[in-house]
Amino acid sequence: EAGVTQFPSHSVIEKGQTVTLRCDPISGHDNLYWYRRVMGKEIKFLLHFVKESKQDESGMPNNRFLAERTGGTYSTLKVQPAELEDSGVYFCASSPRTSGRGDEQFFGPGTRLTVL
Amino acid sequence: AQKVTQAQTEISVVEKEDVTLDCVYETRDTTYYLFWYKQPPSGELVFLIRRNSFDEQNEISGRYSWNFQKSTSSFNFTITASQVVDSAVYFCALSEEKAAGNKLTFGGGTRVLVKP
């Protein structure tokens, strides 16, 4: 079974440009999460999809970030326009849809974003 | 609000030594879940263990063991007889029952370097 995949693995862009990150969760996982780690700090939650619906987007830093999950499969995270402080590693995770909480989340390798 | 603190940023040991990683958490929820993840050089976060707040029984899995103490809000992780392959960044994380979705709150991570 394939794990969570993310594309690209590394992106270097100029300030003001647009970047789109993609995440393919494990097949059949309804829950999809985005996290990011900036400047060696804690990994912080960005948002959570259940299928195609946004369950919680309380961690999105501002309206320059737009996440979508059309069809409830893969997800994209667009940053437009990118700023220097957006540099960091963006992780995607997925988990099956279960009735209980505390489910293990399966993480991808992350996309390292560098904004110059 | 929930918080996870990993006071040790980096630990360096010689192979076969034991190493203990500290994790202290804060939450107002009575039901919560604690996790440890390992991030090897390849980048992805690998799930190691999950504990719910009602299960204080310590756990051992091979060379790994975990000590959960609600009285001190700690969930420490010990690697016995460390090996070079244990070199990685280790993250402790918390998920609250009452929080929307199942988002994880991470500590800052502890980098473990095992020297041969």
Q: What digits encode the pLDDT tens for the residues B10-47?
A: 999 999 999 999 999 999 988 899 999 999 988 889 99
- Chain centroid to Cα A52, Å, comes to 14
Cβ–Cβ below 8 Å for B44 and A35: no
> Which pLDDT does position B11 carry in this prediction?
97
Q: pLDDT band at B1, cuts 50/70/90?
A: confident
Q: What is the mean pLDDT of residues B58-83?
A: 93
What 3-state class would DSSP assign to B72? helix
* Mean per-residue pLDDT over chain B, rounded: 92
Residues 6 or more apart in contact with residue B91 via CB below 8 angstroms: A43, B6, B36, B37, B38, B39, B45, B106, B107, B109
Task: Determine what percent of chain A is predicted with pLDDT higher than 70.
Answer: 96
A residues 95..114 contacting B (CB < 8 A): 95, 101-110
Q: Determine which of A31, A105, A111, A112 to mutate to test the interface with B (most B C-beta atoms within 10 Å).
A: A105
pLDDT at A98: 65
Nearest by CB to B45, from A45, A91, A95: name it.
A91
Q: How many CB atoms lie within 10 A of CB A100?
A: 9
A88 touches chain B (CB under 8 A): no
B100 inside 8 A of chain A by CB: yes
A:B CB pairs within 8 Å: 72
Number of neighbouring beta carbons within 10 Å of residue B3: 13
State the best of B51, B102, B105, B106 to mutate against chain A, taking most chain A CBs within 10 Å.
Answer: B102
Contacts B97 to A, Cβ<8 Å: 101-102
For A41-74, the pLDDT digits (tens) are 899 999 999 999 998 999 999 999 999 998 889 9
